[in-house]
Structure 1
Amino acid sequence: MGSVRSLRRSNPVTVIVGVVLCVVIMVFLFGPSSADIATSQFRRANSASNPLSPPTLPFRKSNDKANGKRIPPPVVHYQMNNVTSTSDPEGNRETVLILTPLARFYQEYWDNLLKLTYPHELITLAFIIPKNREGNAATTALQEQITKTQEGAEKKRFASIIIERQDFDPALVTQTEAERHKMENQKSRRAAMSRARNSLLFTTLGPTTSWVLWLDADIIETPPNLIQDLASHNKPIIVPNCFQRYWDPAAKERQERPYDFNSWQDSEAAQDLAKQMGPDDILLEGYADMATYRTLMAYMADDAGDIHTEVPLDGVGGTALLVKADVHRDGAMFPPFAFYHLIETEGFAKMAKRLGWTATGLPNYKVYHYNE
């Protein structure tokens, strides 16, 4: 009875204040943060209003109708002069399109992608996957991770995600590392890769895209600030050095070795080889049977060197490649044919150079490839 009397004697105002205070505490503990609210508002403001809007903006279906008929989509105006690609993309809220040709799904690739510190609401992901058994398995695994991410914490969600399936057969039946790197497979494999890259690029590049990051599906380790670091150089085309970690049984410890040999500076020997070739023949890098004597960025790495050191390049690899969207808008694509005896990413660098754009390499800035 004592507790009942105590409650009756309590001031009603005190009880009300106590209840309100409890509610405020609950909202503070379990409600969305101001950052989450800002992110949510940004997503709504930047979502596509109709199915004909750029695919790099998330589409939110509308049921608006007039007199029982669906309202026709509006005419959308874009001021392309307002689209920037600067050395401070995060500060200027510049959108990034990450493009990945995906034949196999690696969980480490996705985990690394989630660790990128660039605001995810400014990132669109797009994948192109072959129509075969491996491609089906990759699509299933990818969709599982996408669902988990896009239904999770809002600040970790990406602006939009696009999955495309190739409308042509892959050049190789198997995608093992040994088979991919056989010299006799290079022209057909890389021609097919070019077609896949071009299909993915032409169907996803929107008028609001500032940067395009080409990131291979087997790149499993990069610095978290990859996008900011590469963009800070403010170069039209920039590529880090791709290495591979492996276990050295002799030294009984993990070591690393160069992996991508497609980033290079040209040589007179390579140019002389090209002069002797037929119109459809291509130069290949990293094979003893075709000594080009080019200067390879893979061998320029200095562990004690500055990660911001820049070198000019004539050819680039595509394992991790940041490109200003304007370079692609100007027409630089990945030739699936012999372009000055070059193909795919190396041909892209040559084509971009013919359009007035230069390529830059960062020999001491490393990303890491999966080791099969």
Structure 2
Amino acid sequence: MARPMGSVRLKKANPLTLLLGVVLCIFILYFLISPSSTPSSTTRVVVDSARHHLSPPTSPYRKPKSDAAVELGPPPVTRYNLNNVTITADPIGNQEHVLILTPMARFYQEYWDNLLKLSYPHGLITLGFILPKSKDGNAATALLQQQIQKTQKQGPEKDRFKSIIILRQDFEPSLSSQDESERHKMANQKARREDMSKARNSLLFTTLGPATSWVLWLDSDIVETPPSLIQDLAGYSKPVIVANCFQRYYDAETKSMAERPYDFNSWQDSDVAQKLGAAMGPDDILLEGYAEMATYRLLMAYMATNPSEKDTVVPLDGVGGTALLVRADVHRDGAMFPPFAFYHLIETEGFAKMAKRLGWQPYGLPNYKVYHYNE
């Protein structure tokens, strides 16, 4: 029988085809709405270490061994409330972070050994170093890295510091020799201390983090301090406070060990010094400890009386940087180390003047001693 024109006969669908179609639709829907997952080979590795060198939790910052094996992802957006950063006379009790900064031209093993003896929790300490690009600087960098490797990877956890930062200077040093006799010549002081200021500022501006409460400036040739140095200085609740730097030496006359004042940059100003400065040109600086420029300032180096009277505190107009503790907010307010004549002062003494101009009075401890390496 003939079929009517225009009619269509539907072919019965195969059940297997319908099943495959349903499975395919389910797979497509799952692919579209399911969250993307990361392959196991690139899963973020959770380790007990810092994710960032400026804000770690308790353990040191450890760089991943293989960038290809660990997917760190984009850095997070982090909010910091500086009002929550405490700066108190009980820094250990309040778990306050300390930044120890050291410009280094030569490496002294005694400096590092003394650093390890500090009783302040090392998990709250970040170390920062800056070294010149010179023969001595290269040698010091190699020795420093050896000790860092030994401490941070091989040493016990309690000895490891929160993080360590090493910078290399981006300018050539003015002095070719770092021998003590050469670097203390009066003719070399302005150029030398300009370099020191630039190094200190580079180190400070690069390492000061939002969680830092205190900054301890500790020279690389300071080889002996009380183990409680940080908490001792912080306990005086002063915005800027400096220890008295001495040097141990062998006295040939008495045939015994003795000590002598070393740092003359911590002082109280005098009228004579003020008059000398008033007669100087705008780029001239006053220097302390030289017979050619007698300022008659009161030097803290000669204020030491009784070692048992460590609590003696005196206000200062100039400070040295051998062992100098500074509240972090003093630096955050803008107090830095002028590499130019600032009221005829430069470097750490210029810093003291700048801190005072910002309303932060520096202080010193005549009977609290730290000791400089004797070359």
TM-score range, shorter chain: 0.7 to 0.9
Structure 1 runs (4+) greater than 6 angstroms displaced: none
CA distance in 1, matches of 2:195, 2:61: 30
Written as runs of structure 1 = structure 2, the 5 A alignment for 1:42-81 is 44=48, 47-49=50-52, 54=54, 59=61, 71-81=73-83
Written as runs of structure 1 = structure 2, the 5 A alignment for 1:139-154 is 139-151=141-153, 152-154=155-157
The answer to whether the Cα contact below 8 Å between 1:315 and 1:349 also exists between their aligned partners in 2 is yes
2:331 to 328, 333, 336: 328
Unpaired segments of 5 or more residues in structure 2?
1-46
1:129 to 124, 128, 131: 131
The TM-score, its normalising length taken from structure 2, stands at 0.83
Question: Structure 1 residue 171: deviation in Å?
Answer: 1.4
Question: Which of these two proteins has the greater Rg computed from alpha carbons?
Answer: 2
Question: Structure 1 residue 71: deviation in Å?
Answer: 3.3
Label 1:142 to 1:69 Cα distance change in 2 as closer, same or farther (>3 A).
closer
Question: Structure 1 residue 304: deviation in Å?
Answer: 4.8
The answer to whether the Cα contact below 8 Å between 1:55 and 1:204 also exists between their aligned partners in 2 is no
Structure 1 residue matching 2:287: 3-state secondary structure:
coil
Query: Which residue in 2 is equivalent to 1:19?
Result: none
CA distance in 1, matches of 2:259, 2:292: 25
Structure 1 residue matching 2:165: 3-state secondary structure:
strand
The answer to whether the Cα contact below 8 Å between 2:307 and 2:368 also exists between their aligned partners in 1 is no
CA distance in 2, matches of 1:304, 1:247: 20
Structure 2 residue matching 1:48: 3-state secondary structure:
coil
- One-letter amino acid matched to 1:85: I
Query: Which residue in 1 is equivalent to 2:260?
Result: 257
Query: Which residue in 1 is equivalent to 2:112?
Result: 110
CA distance in 1, matches of 2:356, 2:56: 27
CA distance in 2, matches of 1:90, 1:55: 17
Structure 2 residue matching 1:93: 3-state secondary structure:
coil
Question: Structure 1 residue 56: deviation in Å?
Answer: 7.6
The answer to whether the Cα contact below 8 Å between 2:131 and 2:137 also exists between their aligned partners in 1 is yes
Question: Structure 1 residue 74: deviation in Å?
Answer: 1.7
Q: Does 1:224 align with 2:206?
A: no
Question: Structure 1 residue 79: deviation in Å?
Answer: 1.1
Query: Which residue in 2 is equivalent to 1:367?
Result: 370
- One-letter amino acid matched to 1:356: G
- The count of aligned residue pairs is 323
Q: What is the root-mean-square deviation of aligned Cα atoms in Å?
A: 1.9
Question: Structure 1 residue 136: deviation in Å?
Answer: 0.7
Label 1:69 to 1:212 Cα distance change in 2 as closer, same or farther (>3 A).
closer
1:84 to 76, 83, 86: 86
Written as runs of structure 1 = structure 2, the 5 A alignment for 1:1-372 is 44=48, 47-49=50-52, 54=54, 59=61, 71-151=73-153, 152-372=155-375
Question: Structure 1 residue 44: deviation in Å?
Answer: 3.8
CA distance in 2, matches of 1:145, 1:332: 32
Deviations 1:62-89 (A, max 9, x none): 79x9xx9973222100111010110000
Deviations 1:328-362 (A, max 9, x none): 00000000000000000000000000000010000
The answer to whether the Cα contact below 8 Å between 2:239 and 2:330 also exists between their aligned partners in 1 is yes
CA distance in 1, matches of 2:283, 2:169: 25
CA distance in 2, matches of 1:325, 1:132: 31
- One-letter amino acid matched to 2:121: P
CA distance in 2, matches of 1:352, 1:322: 13
Question: Structure 1 residue 117: deviation in Å?
Answer: 0.2
Structure 1 residue matching 2:291: 3-state secondary structure:
coil
- One-letter amino acid matched to 1:127: F
CA distance in 1, matches of 2:312, 2:249: 26
Label 1:72 to 1:62 Cα distance change in 2 as closer, same or farther (>3 A).
farther
